[in-house]
Structure 1
Amino acid sequence: MRLTALRQAIITTIRAKLPALAAVDSHPGRFNLDELRRIVTRLPAVRVALMAVPDTGEVQTGERDITVRLAAFVMTGDKRRLPKDEAALAIVEALLDMVPTQRWGMTALTGAEKVSAENLFSGSVDKQGVALWAVTWSQTLRIGEDIWQGGVLPSEVYLNDDREQDGKAGAYDKVTP
């Protein structure tokens, strides 16, 4: 379950780098106003979601590269001396600094790219006393089994030597691994 591991790695990294957040959790995807009312109990918060897998491709090893679109939803409320929109912008700025090229400690993953942020302000969201932003990006994750992993090494290997030896061009040398 590399997709689940990716989402958890993102959450762990954000928690470590932004410890002042009240909550950094996963979320299944987009949400409506009713869902927003339910999840804004602990603010400021970041909710991480896998939004789409718009592209897949096979690799020569038998594995697949999948492009994953991800989002970190930033939610803040008003605090004494810090309006919610300023708090949200501070978290958005921290994420925009953190996310580009991030690999979240995973090896079968490209660096984050196409990072952007969008203000999701609306009158309904504002009535809930919340500022809401989405920081989005794409990454390519390799999944599946490598057909070459754990293969058997041959007992003999022959290397082509382009230099002339004993009047013969391109002699082969036997090498034992």
Structure 2
Amino acid sequence: MSKRQSRINEFRAAVVDTIKKALPELRECESQFGRFNLDELETTSIRTPGVRVGLLHGKLKHAGSGQAEGTMSCAAFAVTEGKDRDEQAWAIAEAIAVSLHTSQMFGLLKLGTPQAVSIQPVISAAIKSKGVSIIAVEWTQELHQLGQNIFDQDGVVFSELYINDELVEVRP
């Protein structure tokens, strides 16, 4: 893969940065691989109050240009502990959900607006016994023009192709 950062990773990092700026009282806000649950809580330390941002899955629709449109299912997990953990987790989740308004682009281009925003607690007896509250804010958002366009700016197919940094001959 090229040194260019993937659009998906760029998007997730932008979501993390936006939440950090909006909620400076968080002790931690970082990206998460997938869903945050009790297993993650037991194997990973998180300073509370904290937020973990994960991309749960994406559905891609390919275009003739070689690029794709991706509908990403996203989640921000508010994690709190202590006496007022439930109230604090709901307040953080509400602040994140409200920020997912129809003009929230996280400072990026080629991006749709947040859709289908929902909030729900991650509940289990094991989580309750740990004295932790986890509230998930979930939404979908479209990333446009994923990948590289196979056409140049004039609409002509590129005449050079590099694989593993080696020029491969392309015949018309």
When the two structures are superposed, what TM-score results if normalisation uses the length of structure 2? Answer: 0.79
Note the C-alpha offset of 1:122: 1.9
For residues 112-165 of structure 1, the C-alpha deviation after alignment (integer angstroms, 9 at most, x for no partner) is: 11111111122210111100111111011120223455328xxxxxxxxxxxxx
Contact 2:48 2:80 in 1 (8 A): yes
CA contact (8 A) 1:77 1:129 kept: yes
Compute the displacement of 1:4 (Å): 0.7
In structure 2, the gaps of 5 or more residues are 1-5, 156-172
Partners of 1:68 and 1:141 within 8 A in 2: yes
The correspondence for 1:33, drawn from 35, 38, 52, is 38
Aligned-partner Cα distance in 2 for 1:41–1:24:
9
Matched residue type, 2:13: Q
Aligned equivalent of 1:98: 99
Task: Give every structure 1 segment of 4 or more consecutive aligned residues whose post-TM-superposition deviation is greater than 4 Å.
Answer: none
Larger Rg: 1
Gaps of 5+ in 1: 153-177
Residue 44 of structure 1 and its aligned partner are, at CA, apart by 0.5
| Cα separation, 2, equivalents of 1:24 and 1:33 | 18
Paired position in structure 1 for 2:130? 128
- Please give the alpha-carbon distance, in whole angstroms, between the structure 1 residues aligned to 2:34 and 2:111: 21
TM-score, length basis structure 1:
0.77
- The one of 18, 25, 29 equivalent to 2:23 is 18
Judge conservation of contact 2:36–2:77 (CA < 8 Å) in 1.
no
RMSD: 1.9
> What pairs with 1:129-148 in structure 2 (closer than 5 Å)?
129-142=131-144, 143-148=146-151
Q: Percent identity?
A: 36
SS in 2 for 1:95: helix
Partners of 1:66 and 1:49 in 2: how far apart? 15
The aligned residue for residue 160 of structure 1 is none
Rounded Cα–Cα distance in structure 2 between residues aligned with 1:35 and 1:42: 13
Find the partner of 1:58 among 57, 62, 66.
Answer: 62
Q: Secondary structure at the match of 1:135?
A: strand
Displacement of 1:99: 1.4
Amino acid across the alignment from 2:44: I
Task: Select which of 49, 67, 86 maps to 2:71.
Answer: 67
> Is residue 36–residue 52 contact of structure 2 (8 Å, CA) maintained in 1?
no
Counterpart-to-counterpart distance in 2, 1:94 and 1:121: 20
Matched pairs, number? 149
Answer whether contact 2:55 2:74 (CA < 8 A) is retained: yes
